[in-house]
Structure 1
Amino acid sequence: MPDTITKLTYQTFQQSKIYFALAHKQISTRLRNFVYPNLEFKTQPLSPEILQKMQKRIDDIMERDLIDGENGIYPINIIFDNPWSDFFSYYPNIWIDMPTVWNRIQQKKYQEFSPQINTQNYPAYYLQNFHYQTDGYLSDTSANLYDLQVEILFNGTADAMRRRILAPLKMGLEKLFSGKNLEAIAPQNLRVLDIACGTGRTLKFIRATLPKAALYGVDLSSAYLKKAHQLLSEELGELPQLLQGNAEDLPLRDNFFQATTCVFMFHELPPMVRQKVIEEAFRVTQPGGVFVICD
């Protein structure tokens, strides 16, 4: 069981993130209603029962996150990780960008990109403003704001949700290597691919969990890969190899990885594309390997 001080510190840390996200949403909603009083969303208020279930799931995620850290699945310090420099640098930009987002919603513009962005050679489903964010996934500005926006969207639990892949990943690899100490395995024999690695947050947590593994990340967005390189270059250990590529047709050879992961991507894919991505993950993962999805 987690020790009392660590548990209280973690709970305080997580609750502060949750309250901050809720306060942000409440203030931004009031401001939006003032600026765009006729802006309508096709949503309905959640019932008290559903809200209670959601809170229970958040509590369960936090408890599991703490227990996994205490049990050595990953270093306990990463449960307190937060991109503070990005927060102070870019959080004001979220507010600055809001009027543009609201205007896009009002005009129902779901495929609006800055003129300087090259939209060639991307799948049609990728060329949209996911969650109405400016420039979708194709600009440096979007990459800088993404992690902050996702933490707010998920009420401060995004990183804890990402870390849910680490226990099945590590246990699957231990099974693959018959219980051997994973840190004793040569990097060329322990390769892990994160599909749709985005800004590299998941790879950062995998590196903390598997410090000796050879890590790879693939993403369609060059802007997000640049952000991932910036984040991961600050970490100890070998820098993951980052590749630009489509998850439907991974630029990697068969049976190359002992494990593959994918976080927060499948809900944004058309059904047929999801199947293609799963088949590609199966193709590049060696028999008996591990594939973990978080969505």
Structure 2
Amino acid sequence: MSDTLTKLTYQTFQQGKNYFGLAHKILSTRLMNLISPSQQQTKPLPTQLLLKVQQRLNNLLEVDWQDAEQGVYPTSLLFDNPWSDFFRYYPAMWLDLPQLWERANQKKYQEFSQNVDIEGYPSYYVQNFHHQTDGYLSDFSANLYDLQVEILFGGSADAMRRRILAPLKEGLKVFSDVSPRQTRILDVACGTGRTLKSIRAALSQASLYGTDLSPAYLRKAIELLSQIPGELPQLLQANAEELPYLDNYFHAVTSVFLFHELPPAVRQRVIEECFRVTKPGGVFIICDSIQMSDSPEMEPIMENFHETFHEPYYKNYTTDNLVERLEKAGFENITTQVHFMSKYLIARKPA
């Protein structure tokens, strides 16, 4: 297949996912207003802002394509879609929506199934983030999560995750004397393993590690990662505030969509832990939500996100100075990027 045809196929593929996500949101919102009218008030988004959002999405997809074309990762990764999970879990997602709407309207933020053990977790984690059933603490939640996020972002979640790969590969160049198999990369709060899967595609021989607080999400990650070629990443259940690794152990550390779900003091402790386990000269990369400082024109969307979803620490996150936090921990040479609705911070530990 020619590059032009491949690019056109990719654009059509992504456009289809975007339209599907939009149709799902419209239909589910109308149904919610019939069955369980929401008491929450969100700001209507002006047409000009929606056009900016679409342009941001187009720019993201162009960068995604360019990185694949330049060999940062295989082109096949652009078409990686969990179709089996879609057909298996999309009906379950619809069946779960009435409970989600009821939970949101009743402001039940810490409601868990009887078989879910919530003992031993930090209080900030025992939440129904996004009003989702069982928060992050059940196999049911883990099975639906990737599909929910893909729909939320109009099919662009993986494209945003992949933006860490170019700076990751660039950051590892300082360790040119280290063999690929000796290169150790940690993904903090790895969830269902989607980021680790992308890293494996880009760095096929690296030794990969992942931590997460949720045993259910780690089980889902093992299910996903065991289906791809290469050594299975070493996954551990662990709190990012106390990473179970030696000082200066990893050549690179990544964290995707974690920090907006942490209280401010915990954000700092996690950054300091990431600094501790990163080798001198190593790179730390954060991917998370946009903030007011880099995307002030997106304020209505950030406000709506805070109002619509149960994200108790998000509003504080939008004005938090992550660069300052990274510098306080000891990181240097900090750069930032913005792609669509996500922000990236790339930091280096002094050699």
Normalised by the length of structure 1, the TM-score is 0.95
Residue type of the alignment partner of 1:150? V
Question: CA RMSD for the aligned pairs?
Answer: 1.2
Residue type of the alignment partner of 2:88? S
Rounded Cα–Cα distance in structure 1 between residues aligned with 2:48 and 2:24 = 24
What secondary structure does 2:187 align onto? Answer: strand
Shift of 1:186: 4.3
Question: Over residues 35-78 of structure 1, what are the superposed CA-to-partner deviations in whole Å (9 max), with x where a residue is unaligned?
Answer: 123x2223111122221221111111100000000000001110
Rounded Cα–Cα distance in structure 1 between residues aligned with 2:69 and 2:277 = 32
Shift of 1:281: 0.6
Identity fraction in percent? 65
What secondary structure does 2:101 align onto? Answer: helix
Normalised by the length of structure 2, the TM-score is 0.80
Aligned residues: 287
Rounded Cα–Cα distance in structure 2 between residues aligned with 1:104 and 1:213 = 42
Q: 1:229 aligns with which of 222, 225, 230?
A: 222
Rounded Cα–Cα distance in structure 1 between residues aligned with 2:220 and 2:50 = 34
What secondary structure does 1:247 align onto? Answer: coil
Residue type of the alignment partner of 1:22? L
What secondary structure does 1:49 align onto? Answer: helix
Aligned to 1:133: 132
Rounded Cα–Cα distance in structure 1 between residues aligned with 2:172 and 2:62 = 24
Residue type of the alignment partner of 2:14? Q
Question: Over residues 246-293 of structure 1, what are the superposed CA-to-partner deviations in whole Å (9 max), with x where a residue is unaligned?
Answer: 001111111110000000111111111111111111100101001111
Structure 1 residues 84, 139: CA separation in 2 closer, same or farther (over 3 Å shift)? same
Q: 1:289 aligns with which of 272, 279, 282?
A: 282
What secondary structure does 2:232 align onto? Answer: coil
Residue type of the alignment partner of 1:118? D
Question: Over residues 219-268 of structure 1, what are the superposed CA-to-partner deviations in whole Å (9 max), with x where a residue is unaligned?
Answer: 00000000000000001000000000000111111111000000011111
Residue type of the alignment partner of 2:27? I
Counterpart mapping for 1:192-211 below 5 A: 192-211=185-204
**Partners of 2:165 and 2:199 within 8 A in 1:** yes
Rounded Cα–Cα distance in structure 2 between residues aligned with 1:287 and 1:51 = 43
Residue type of the alignment partner of 1:177? F
Question: Over residues 168-205 of structure 1, what are the superposed CA-to-partner deviations in whole Å (9 max), with x where a residue is unaligned?
Answer: 0001112x124x7x8xx142x20000000000000000
Counterpart mapping for 1:128-277 below 5 A: 128-174=127-173, 176-178=174-176, 185-187=179-181, 189-277=182-270
Runs of at least 5 residues in structure 2 that lack an aligned partner in the other structure: 289-351
Aligned to 1:87: 86
Rounded Cα–Cα distance in structure 2 between residues aligned with 1:22 and 1:41 = 20
**Partners of 2:36 and 2:98 within 8 A in 1:** no
